[in-house]
Structure 1
Amino acid sequence: MLTLYHSPLSRSTSIVQLLDELGAADQVGIVEVTIRRQGGKGSPDPRNAHPEKKVPYLTDGEDHVRERAAVVLYLTDRFPKAGMGRPVGDPQRGQYLSWLIWYQGVFEPVAMLTWAGIDNADVKSSLGDYDVALARLDEVLSRQPYLLGDSYSAADLLCSGPFQWFRDNMPMTPAVKAWVERCAERPSNIRTMQRDQASMA
């Protein structure tokens, strides 16, 4: 059976929301664990199977998946009928994969460096900077409502997350802001946030 290691109001919250969107919540066991939080709060949980005690961490029998983009891809491939991913052979498969890996390998690192106030020429020459990343999103979202066109996908769920969590610290263009609001209004997002907040109360 699939098992997700999750800590409320953390990076794994997006995966719990994805399970809701996939209609797969009853097919994946969730083990709620504690993690070390920003500012030093919290502590690693011995129940967490992740070797570094992070979340999300997905196990499937003897196999395992870590890193959010990989978990998202694994689950959308596993539960394709929901239409949240793009299966092998789909004409948008390449775009879908590109957005997932762009998020993990470019956008999140660039955003974190910006929050930390780190300005490094070598990093910029490799990854670009926040303004370049924002322009990439704006270019697409100025002409269509979601990253892959007219329908919401797991790429939107993943890429919109930081804007929802750190809205006040992340400049947005009008098109990106409207997209973030559409994503935030998803019933799956509202339900997941309510459950996580209740769990943390």
Structure 2
Amino acid sequence: MAVNISILIIDDDEDICEYMKTLLLATGYQVETLSDPTLAEEKVRSEEYHLLIVDLMMPKMDGIELIKQIRRADSDVAVVVFTGYPSVETAVDALKLNVSDYIKKPFDVDEFREKIADVLRRKGLLLNPEAELHRTIGHNIRRIRKEKELTLKQLARRTSLSVSLLSQIERAESSASVSSLYKVAVALGVKLTVLFGEY
């Protein structure tokens, strides 16, 4: 899933760097760490990263200042900031610099992994965005169908599609045509775009 996604962790605390690196390597990402933030701008200029994880509170350099330098080197790279001292002011400053997400320390491991995956998804960097789209459509159809208390058989009758096809669409095992999705949206009483979620 995460093949060839390159991540750089920038934190003066080497133990935190190694801990996050271990978590992300286990997920399949390529990960480097940097404990001296003064070297970050040059590293970002000379190497290609998909995502940077930056600590906001470092003695050698303020995290916001570091992000400004990073943005001069690469205006598009995804940046996630994390801090043990969250404040509204730093969150606002980070958002002004087009930061993708904000994580508070200490963090929950599963939540951390999900936030990283979510940032990469939003950037269109996960290996198979098409599969993600199919999962999203299937999940939304199932959710709306359950909310409306419809069985697959009832939805099949409303759409003139087979129960088997609808089941495959919900489980993301089959890609549906736009025509089929339109029939499903009409049968569920929602706009076609609702099925696509944030895509």
TM category, shorter: under 0.3
- Please say which structure displays the higher CA radius of gyration: 2
TM-score by length of 1: 0.25
TM-score by length of 2: 0.25
